[in-house]
Structure 1
Amino acid sequence: MANPSSPQSLQFARGASGAGEVLQLFMDGAPHSRTDLAALTGMARSTLQERLDVLIHLGLIGAIADGASTGGRPPQRLSLLPDARLVLAIDLGASHLRVALSDLACTPLVQSQTPISFADGPEEILQTAMDLAKELLVSLDRDREDVIAVGMGVPGPVNFETGRPANPPIMPGWDDFDIPAWFQQYLDALVVVDNDVNLMAIGEKDQLESGSEDFIFVKLATGIGSGIISGGLLQRGAQGTAGDIGHVRIRRGDGIFCHCGNEGCLEALASGPMIAAALRSEGIEANSNMDVVGLVNSGNIQAIRAVRQAGRDLGEVLAASVSLLNPSLIVVGGRISAAGEHLLAGIREVVYQRGAPLSTQHLQIRTSRSWEAGALRGASMIAVSQALSPQEIERSALALI
């Protein structure tokens, strides 16, 4: 709109101030008639229409097939248009990079992945992510202008407000790196960065049955961490390090030092690489997380014993967490979770033995149904929730005037 003082621009500005709140009514995917929306919001028809006009102009909502008529002309219904924009979801692990494009309903459309090494540094790894994203856009015949938001998970603490990693132990060179600014060289999009386990917890919650409002998601792979959902909400803590259970000291850790500099951390004994190292000390060929899982699944007694002990170590920390947070469910994901019941047996042995009867009476402990997909799903969900928030919608609308 070329003239900010024109009547049309002034009307658009009035609509922009409340359009984001109206958009939230469409986020469940259900269509609504204008009559329904007026009843839900209590707005005057003219005010409501101004706000709907903004959302239609932004391309976020549109008319769908006519609703059922009770006599006379059937009401026109409006709905969120999931294909209107795309979300770039990125899951960065210690040895992998997964990239996906999703629609506004967080439905994955295409994805790709490649191995990485943190020794390459942040700029090279992020460039690889951007290159994969470009290939995926081409496969959908879409442009980078269609990307409204980027959601990214990294395996370490993150300052959620700035999107910058904060002293991540296994990510040399990433401390305080401005990930959002890097992506915004290429994309006019909101960029949201969080700890990868937090995103797995969000993605897992989306797949759980209703009523699962208090649970702990644990990732056991190259590192160990957890995402905490309490009262249905993700808990990040004051500095974004809530759930960092990998650096809690355990009893059998005396004299064993962690890469974080402390002694006796859970991660220094029970992570995938440490399990593999313990097996190698017994003369068993195990060089990766998948080697450990393969040995367990083939019935190797030493590997089963090592994984079960890792489960006991993890259970020691989780028993305290259960007393503190009183979850109804603990979900275990990450590469080592593929060891299945052997791992869970060790966790359950300690948690149920040490936990208070009331806190463990109905507690379930199981492996994740889809932790790999959950990381990308969580990244999409958190990016959409931020990009389509009332504040962002108002900002986007006013930028058009």
Structure 2
Amino acid sequence: MAKSPAIPRTAPTAPNGGPNSAANAAGVGSARAGEVFQLLRDGHARTRAELAAITGLARSTVAARIDALASSGLIGPAGEAVSSGGRPPSRFAFQPTARVILAVDVGATHVLIGLTDLSGKVLSELRESIDISTGPVPVLDAVLDHCGQLLAQAGRHERELVGIGIGLPGPVEHSTGKPASPPIMPGWDGFDVPAYVQRRFDTDVLVDNDVNIMALGERAVYWPDAENLLFIKVATGIGAGIVSGGLLQRGADGTAGDIGHVRVPRGGEVLCRCGNYGCLEAMASGPAVAAALAASGVPAATGEDVLELARRGNLAAIQAMRQAGRDVGDVLAACVNLLNPSVIVIGGGLSSAGEYLMAGVREVVYQRSLPLATARLRIVQSMAADHAGVLGAGRMVIDHVLAPDGVERLVAEHQQA
């Protein structure tokens, strides 16, 4: 039977599986293998005696939990500790290569699929062009075929797969994995993505908005200590992934961070595809900037055309990119006053234009936001670039399957096999 896609709404472990969160999760007196595993998730090797001292469990109980975790492959021998007399005690450590995850970042015109281990390390990846508007069945069928190819090429069996994480370019009801009225995804509204994927792969399937998983990926790899971070994607659409107090904020219906449909000062009567006028997306997205340039006589049909013109030094394209940054900055200034992030990361296709877009964002944010809110604020370009989505989709699944309940399930499944 296919596993439930839902994720319990509990605080996740630290992005890097740090020892403090692991110790809190394992707590004195805990008896389950899943809690004991949290103490090994940071990668540091420990002996049975050390684990018994931390948890307060009897050594026989710790030994039983270690045996269960080792038999499932989640942990393995990691040498011997210094002996205080007699035979040196064995040490055990997390084995991230024991299982694999498929991380899928679906965009409007492309899909990037990565095969990762349980540490989030990308083992292999595949990029293909797709058209999200063709509907869920043809897009997901192509994605699933590519997922099978990646597994086969890596020599990994489907039984080693513990989960699939998917990011989609539109609002998603995270608890069910169903898209919710996505504006650029005709035919996807309410489609049961997890159930469809589980017809091919019998594993956990977790689905979220693409900007949310980008925020997870960027933070996990490059900003693990940032408790308050905004990730802004500027591409075919514009959206924000919000990390506040160390937790990803999805909102009541999964639409938190949909800044692309906030009205901007110079929006006027420009019609947006959402049906409203003056939206940020209608002014500063890749297609919007290209359309504005084309109207002024500059040959540009797509965001990629705009980027290429800017790289060649076309003054009109450079000015258009900077103005797009100012428009984004107009909305972000309000976000900064409201959320007080310490880091704003600008990603997405148009961010590869580098300082042209960034200069416009910084100009307005630092001018319009409260001085106290910007005193320690950093506005930076994405370091993960187009890999942020894959990194985040993998992290989403890792935090699910390596949580105490997830580990218990993996151990039980191995014992029943």
Determine if the TM-score, normalized by the shorter chain, exceeds 0.5. yes
Give the match for residue 304 of structure 1: 318
Residue in structure 2 matching 1:144, options 155, 158, 161: 158
Post-superposition offset of 1:113: 0.8
Residue in structure 2 matching 1:114, options 120, 128, 137: 128
Q: Which amino acid aligns with 2:301?
A: N
1:163 aligns with 2:177: yes
**Runs of 4+ off more than 6 Å:** none
Structure 1 stretches lacking a partner, 5+ long: 1-15
Residue in structure 2 matching 1:176, options 161, 181, 190: 190
1:258 aligns with 2:272: yes
Give the match for residue 123 of structure 1: 137
> Within 2, Cα distance between the matches of 1:129 and 1:368?
25
**Aligned ranges for residues 226-245 of structure 1 at < 5 Å?**
226-245=240-259
1:156 touches 1:195 (CA, 8 Å); kept in 2? yes
> Within 2, Cα distance between the matches of 1:298 and 1:374?
27
Q: Which amino acid aligns with 2:237?
A: G
Q: How many residues align?
A: 386
Residue in structure 1 matching 2:47, options 29, 33, 44: 33
Q: Tell me the SS of whatever aligns to 2:308.
A: helix
Give the match for residue 101 of structure 1: 115
Report the CA distance shift for 1:126/1:247 in structure 2 as closer, same or farther (over 3 A): same
1:222 aligns with 2:236: yes
Report the more deviating stretch, 321-330 or 73-82: 73-82
> Within 2, Cα distance between the matches of 1:394 and 1:210?
26
Report the more deviating stretch, 105-114 or 288-297: 288-297
Aligned-CA RMSD value: 1.6
Give the match for residue 275 of structure 1: 289
Report the CA distance shift for 1:193/1:17 in structure 2 as closer, same or farther (over 3 A): farther
Post-superposition offset of 1:396: 4.0
Post-superposition offset of 1:213: 1.8
> Within 1, Cα distance between the matches of 2:86 and 2:290?
72
TM-score relative to the length of structure 2: 0.89
Q: Tell me the SS of whatever aligns to 1:253.
A: coil
> Within 2, Cα distance between the matches of 1:203 and 1:27?
18
Q: Tell me the SS of whatever aligns to 1:279.
A: helix
Q: Tell me the SS of whatever aligns to 1:64.
A: strand
Give the match for residue 328 of structure 1: 342
TM-score relative to the length of structure 1: 0.93
> Within 1, Cα distance between the matches of 2:375 and 2:133?
46
Report the more deviating stretch, 231-240 or 108-117: 231-240
> Within 1, Cα distance between the matches of 2:224 and 2:195?
37
1:349 aligns with 2:363: yes
Q: Which amino acid aligns with 1:368?
A: S
Give the match for residue 383 of structure 2: 369
Residue in structure 2 matching 1:286, options 285, 293, 300: 300
Report the more deviating stretch, 295-304 or 41-50: 41-50
Q: Which amino acid aligns with 1:97?
A: V
Give the match for residue 25 of structure 2: none
Give the match for residue 262 of structure 2: 248
Report the more deviating stretch, 156-165 or 134-143: 134-143
2:31 touches 2:61 (CA, 8 Å); kept in 1? no
Deviations 1:246-289 (A, max 9, x none): 01111112212211122211111110000000111111111222
> Within 2, Cα distance between the matches of 1:373 and 1:67?
39
Give the match for residue 106 of structure 2: 92
> Within 2, Cα distance between the matches of 1:328 and 1:169?
31
Give the match for residue 74 of structure 2: 60
> Within 2, Cα distance between the matches of 1:163 and 1:157?
10
